[in-house]
């Protein structure tokens, strides 16, 4: 096999086509710059440069975003820190390197020390490689943490993918500001212009750019956070591509159910009601993990719990929502739930006179047999439904898939009606995350986090949108068989120059071979 000739010129780069559609132009540019970015040593420093550039303009970003989204500066401050923290987390992950999952099984010959191979004894070495340019749809509800530079973009850039972001139409100015800051930081760090591209679309009824971002040939994957309807539509578009189908990672609606044991209800019902009310009201209910359905049962403490939650939600001042159409959908969803037979309104809530204004709402229903499916659909906004079951152990199957299931229980639960271990196991079958004695809002960004879950919460329950494993969505494994050292990616070479943790002949090691 040939030694590489260092002076040999690379083949000519494909030209950047001059498309008239800005999305197509952006995608073509991302495809060109993928060639370098996929293995670029700039990835970690560039992600850190974006974080630092954001820090330098923190107040300006938060102010612009607050004006446009009606989220409070205090709410956005926490989100801002999560944004920059996530960018730095992925930078650290790229440097550490074991995320590529390098696995090496060396050539085997009879008499060698290693165990006999299954099949031929070829030298086989595998690792994750980036898929290519990816399309990211900015979320409406987390303009910073899941917007232009949020978790999807950060993890895709870390993977070595280039990114074309379509900003959510509800906050174009925030999107443009974030993009300008990141774009300047990337260029200063030496990255090509196509590493991060931006597509603006202020008209929520114009799907031209969205369609391009899913169907254009160079795009290799899509990240989306939003409604079940939109996520499903994008996944369908991806399957209908004239070139090969691509994965769409869609995080969609979730009702994030809560269960409270009888003993917890009787012992600290009011305290739990306070915690849930704060969780429902934060960001005016516009969180993927807002607790939307609360399962309780008759017994001591129920009345106090319901009264306290009613009081808290009824007393909450009206607030503007993210956009007029978000408010309208909230009011519609609420009306649909109210129309279900047996549903009582505890706090009316719904639209106010202002075009984006809404008040919190609370509904209540007694379920005898199955819970009406119409009550197990997400109402995006400051609303929750209390579903009163005849008893705690009333069968709930099939549980709806959700991002989170939450369980409030005491340390000294009686053996019955509580079916502790079983209950906790069942909840894990229905959710990406099971929360004990706390509220599901507030997502820690860490290796132990899973932000995902069974349909309809996401269409890819094997993936997480938060934490370091989010990077794997943008990758696939490749094996090199009997490859000479020069043809291998650096991370699979004998010398292991970066000191990565790898599996060599089945054993973990960070040394050379």
User: In this structure, how many other beta carbons lie within 10 angstroms of the beta carbon of residue 6?
Assistant: 5
| Best CA proximity match to 356, nearest among 334, 381, 377, 339 | 381
251 is catalytic: yes
- The binder of a second copy chosen from 117, 172, 298, 417 (CB under 8 A): 117
Stretch that binds a second copy, among 2-10, 42-50, 69-77, 173-181 (CB under 8 A): 2-10
Count of chain residues binding a second copy (CB under 8 A)? 96
- Residue spans of alpha helices (H) in 240-386: 262-281, 302-314, 324-338
Residue 397 DSSP label: P
CA–CA distance, 31 with 28 (Å, rounded to integer): 5
As a whole number of angstroms, the distance between CA 132 and CA 163 comes to 9
Stretch that binds a second copy, among 47-55, 81-89, 175-183, 341-349 (CB under 8 A): 81-89
N- to C-terminal Cα separation, the chain: 21
Q: x/- site string to a second copy, residues 486 to 505, per CB under 8 A?
A: xx-------------x-x--
Cβ closest to a second copy, residue 328 vs residue 410? 410
Asked whether the beta carbons of 292 and 363 are under 8 A apart, the reply is no
Longest dimension (CA), the chain: 83
CA dist 59 and 51 (Å) reads 14
Asked if 259 is part of the footprint of a second copy (rule: CB under 8 A), the reply reads: no
C-beta closer to a second copy: residue 339 or 462? 462
Stretch that binds a second copy, among 52-60, 125-133, 198-206, 341-349 (CB under 8 A): 125-133
What is the C-alpha separation between 378 and 398, in angstroms, rounded? 16
In b/e form, how buried is each residue of 255-268, taking b as 16+ CB within 10 angstroms? bbbbbbbbbbbbeb
Name the DSSP letter for residue 299.
S
Is the Cβ of residue 153 or residue 459 nearer to a second copy in the bound state?
459
Is position 290 an interface residue for a second copy (rule: CB under 8 A)?
Answer: no
Q: From 21-29, 206-214, 381-389, 468-476, give the range in contact with a second copy by CB under 8 A.
A: 468-476
* CA distances to 16, 149, 170, 290, 327 from 76, in Å: 37, 14, 16, 17, 20
* Annotated catalytic residue, options 68, 161, 197, 288: 288
- Pick the binder of a second copy from 321, 449, 465, 500 (CB under 8 A): 449
Q: Report the site for a second copy in 181-240 (rule: CB under 8 A).
A: 239
Q: x/- site string to a second copy, residues 402 to 431, per CB under 8 A?
A: -------xxxxx-xx-xxxxx-x---xx-x
- Exactly one of 120, 317, 369, 373 binds a second copy (CB under 8 A); which one? 120
65 carries an active-site annotation: no
Give residues 292-351 in contact with a second copy (rule: CB under 8 A): none
**Which one of the listed residues 167, 251, 423, 472 is annotated catalytic?**
251
Q: Which of 16, 22, 72, 81 binds a second copy (CB under 8 A)?
A: 81
143 touches a second copy by CB under 8 A: no
Residues 6+ apart with CB under 8 A from 243: 217
Residue from the set 25, 43, 125, 290 that interacts with a second copy by CB under 8 A: 125
Determine if 139 is a binding residue for a second copy (CB under 8 A).
Answer: no
Which residues are marked as active site? 251, 288
């Amino acid at each position: 096999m040939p030694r590489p000739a260092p002076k040999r010129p690379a083949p000519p780069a494909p030209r950047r086509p001059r498309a008239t559609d800005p999305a197509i132009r952006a995608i073509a540019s991302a495809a060109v710059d993928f060639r370098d970015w996929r293995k670029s040593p700039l990835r970690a420093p560039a992600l850190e440069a974006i974080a630092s550039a954001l820090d330098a303009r923190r107040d300006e970003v938060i102010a612009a975003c607050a004006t446009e989204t009606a989220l409070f500066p205090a709410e956005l401050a926490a989100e801002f820190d999560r944004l920059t923290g996530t960018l730095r987390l992925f930078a650290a992950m790229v440097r550490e390197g074991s995320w590529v999952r390098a696995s090496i099984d060396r050539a085997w010959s009879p008499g060698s020390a290693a165990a006999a191979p299954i099949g031929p004894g070829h030298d086989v070495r595998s690792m994750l490689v980036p898929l290519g340019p990816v399309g990211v749809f900015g979320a409406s509800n987390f303009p910073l943490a899941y917007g232009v530079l949020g978790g999807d973009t950060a993890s895709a850039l870390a993977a070595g993918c280039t990114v074309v972001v379509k900003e959510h139409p509800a906050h174009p100015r925030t999107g443009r500001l974030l993009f300008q800051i990141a774009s300047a930081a990337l260029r200063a760090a030496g990255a090509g212009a196509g590493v991060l591209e931006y597509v603006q679309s202020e008209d929520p009824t114009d799907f031209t750019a969205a369609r391009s971002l899913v169907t254009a040939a160079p795009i290799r994957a899509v990240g989306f956070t939003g409604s079940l309807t939109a996520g499903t539509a994008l996944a369908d578009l991806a399957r209908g591509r004239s070139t090969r189908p691509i994965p769409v990672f869609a995080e969609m609606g979730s009702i994030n159910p809560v269960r409270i044991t009888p003993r917890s209800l009787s012992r600290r019902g009011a305290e739990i009601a306070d915690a849930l009310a704060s969780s429902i009201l934060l960001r005016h209910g516009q969180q993927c993990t807002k607790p939307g359905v609360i399962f309780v049962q008759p017994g001591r403490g129920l009345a106090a719990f319901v009264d306290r939650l009613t009081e808290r939600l009824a007393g909450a001042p009206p607030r503007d929502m993210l956009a007029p159409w978000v408010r309208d959908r909230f009011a519609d969803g609420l009306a649909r739930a109210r129309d279900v037979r047996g549903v009582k309104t505890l706090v009316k809530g719904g639209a106010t006179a202002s075009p984006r204004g809404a008040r919190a709402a609370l509904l209540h229903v007694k379920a005898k047999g199955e819970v009406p499916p119409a009550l197990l659909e997400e109402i995006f906004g400051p609303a929750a439904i209390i579903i009163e079951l005849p008893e705690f152990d009333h069968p709930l199957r099939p549980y709806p898939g959700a991002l989170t299931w939450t369980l409030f229980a005491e340390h000294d639960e009686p053996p019955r009606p509580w079916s502790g271990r079983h209950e906790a196991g069942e909840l894990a079958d229905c959710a990406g995350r099971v929360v004990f004695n706390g509220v599901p809002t507030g997502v820690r960004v860490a290796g132990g986090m899973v932000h995902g879950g069974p349909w309809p919460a996401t269409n890819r329950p094997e993936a997480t949108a938060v934490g370091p494993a989010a990077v794997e969505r943008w990758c696939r494994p490749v094996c090199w068989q009997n490859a000479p050292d020069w043809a291998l990616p650096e991370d699979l070479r004998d010398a292991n120059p970066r000191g990565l943790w790898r599996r060599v002949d089945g054993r973990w090691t960070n040394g050379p071979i």
